[in-house]
Structure formats: structure tokens, C-alpha cells
Amino acid sequence: MAGSTSTSLFLPLTFRLNFAIVYIFSGFSNWCNVPTFFSESTIEFKEINTKNKQFFLALTPPSESSYGYCRKYDLPPVTTKTAILFSIFGKTITDCMPFTQKTAIVTGAGQGIGFEICKRLSAEGAQVVLNDIDPDLTHRAAALITAETGNECLALAGDASDVDCIQKMVSRIVQQYGKLDIVIANAGITLFGDFLAYTPEAFQRVMQVNLAGSFFLAQAAAQQMKEQKTGGTILFTSSVTGHQAHKQLAAYSMSKAALEMLAKNLVIELSPFQITVNAIAPGATLTERTLDDPGYTATWSALTPMGRPATVADIAEAALFLVSDKARQITGQTLIVDGGWTSISPSPF
């Protein structure tokens, strides 16, 4: 196909126009999905006119990877020093990226689901503050995202359940970028334990991180969004265990169910300010932590109707939808992403 791009300028105009429409606009509903094979070419389409509409595609060799301009994440990142400049009615591809000019805070994002969400937000144009309690992990994750996407990702380490840390995150993003558009309260901990022997210390820690941290991050974000008068969106990370009982997770499940009720309740108070609040409830998901269990993939592949556990990409795609402008009329809802497990709920024990 790369050979086709290099010779297409010598083909009839009709074919060239169709080529432009197929390969530029075939993914337009996916926000300017530009095939990576374009990276090998330096050709240029100039003002292909049809019915007074102009389309322009130029490929140039600047210094940054074009990973951040590609929407199709199941393809490998483009590593050649090529960026794609794309204009539709005078707009660049950056204008077509759904999170351009958006700012976001994501907590618990040093690895796993939170990291993937940050990476995809950054790749689609957002200015992201990445938080994790582990300073080294936080800075490594932010640096990796910056390198892969060509879009600066800010690192801010700290305990996302601490009100002072929460205020620092909000203040930092507003100071750096002037506003706050998206908050994803992803930080959480899972402390397994038998109900009859569960300690007050373990209980309080789960509630502090999973509930208090999310509650007060949403509060601080909503205050800022209200002051901006431009609306915003808040997303909580819940779990399928907030819907179905799971052995040794009484406290954790309780905290996740509470987050979903919080999302519902905040509809009443935050909708007048055009702030949406939703939750996402992942099921079994392949992360660094779960992959430490050698039997995890096989167990959950057998238990999940779709035949496999989720990937972090599956969860991130759903999360990005809920914080995008496509979901502006969705609020107070929980989206379960579990391959159908909660529909039948077979036990892993």
C-alpha cells in the first residue's frame, strides 16, 4: 500500500480524490485515523477540489514520532521521524483530535489502566497531569508518555487520598494550562481479607483511598469547573465487584458500589454547571499486577463470556468515550466493561 501512495499523484484525478476520501475520511468517525503507511511517503496532495470543498494532505519529516497523530492503537507506533499534517477546511489534524485544548488529571496512573488512559488522552491532544503515589513510577510513566506521544505529560507524585495533594494537582494544572476539563479518579487499593478478621486499619485505608480520595478530588475539580463556567467531566473508576459479590472483598466492593452512587447523586448538584459525572466498572483486566498471577489469564478467559479478560486498552477506550464530547448528554451512569461476566457471574473460587 505504501507503493500506492508514492504513485497516486500520477493516477487520474477521480482515483486520487477517491483515494483521499477513503484513506483520510474512512476513519474520520474515529477522529482522523491516518494509516501508518503514510509515514514512508513524502508526497503531497494539493487542493483537490470537489463541489467547492478542498482537501489537503501533506506529509513532512519533522523531528517527532507521529504516534500521537494516529488513532488506531492496535497498530504499532510510527517510529520514523515523520509527522502528519492534515487540513480539512483549513484545520490541522490537531484540530481533529478530540481532546485537543482539553486538560486532564488522572490519579493512580503510574501503570495499568490509569497509565493507558493517560497515554491515550495525551496521544489525542490533551494536556495531562499524571499522578501516582510512587514518585519514581510517576516520573517514569510521564516521561514515557511524553516520549511516545510527543505531547508533554506532567508528573505529580503524591497520595491521591490526601486533600493537600488533591489541591496541588488542581492548582498545578490550572497554573500550567489555565483550566481543568477532565478528572479521572482512578487511584484505588485492593486489600483482600476475610470479613470476620478484617482490621479497622485495613478498612479505613480502603475507604480513605477509594472513597475519600475520589470524593474530595471530585469536589475540588467541580469547584474549579464551576468557577471556569465552561463545564467539565468527572469519571470514577469503580469495579464489577460493586455489582457482584466476591470472596474476601467486602470492604473493597462496598467502596466501589458507593462510588457509583456518588456519581448518581452528583448529577443533582453538578448538572446546573454543565459538569457530567460517570463511573466505569472494569471486570477482570490484564495489568502488571494481575499478570503476576500465572493462572489469571486462563481462569478469567474460561469465566468470561467473551472468552478473555479485558486489556487496559479495552478499559481506556470506554473511559475516553465517557470523558469526551460525544458523551456530553451522559451523566450519573456506570459503564461496565467485563466481557459479559456480570451477566452470569461465575465464581473464580
The residues assigned a catalytic role are 239, 252, 256
252 burial class (0-12, 13-18, 19+ CB within 10 angstroms)?
buried
| Main-chain dihedrals φ then ψ at residue 22, nearest 5 degrees | -65, -45
Instruction: Provide CB contacts within 8 A for 303, sequence distance 6+.
Output: 284, 341, 346, 348
φ/ψ of 277, rounded to 5, equals -135, 120
**Cell representation of residue 132:** 501516582
- Quick one: which of 70, 41, 32, 232 has its CA closest to 149? 70
φ, ψ for residue 89 (rounded to 5)? 50, 40
Residues 98, 171, 129, 62, Cα dihedral to 10° = 70
d(CA 332, CA 315): 18
Secondary element (H or E) of residue 83: strand 83-88
Alpha-carbon gap, residue 191 to 248, rounded angstroms: 9
What 8-state DSSP symbol labels residue 210?
I
Q: Select from 146, 97, 79 the least CA-distant residue to 118.
A: 146
Give CA–CA dist 207/273, Å, rounded.
28
User: Helices 312-322 and 112-123: crossing angle, nearest 10°?
Assistant: 50
Q: b/e map of 130-155 (b: 16 or more CB within 10 Å)?
A: bbbbeeebbbbbbeebbebbbbebbb
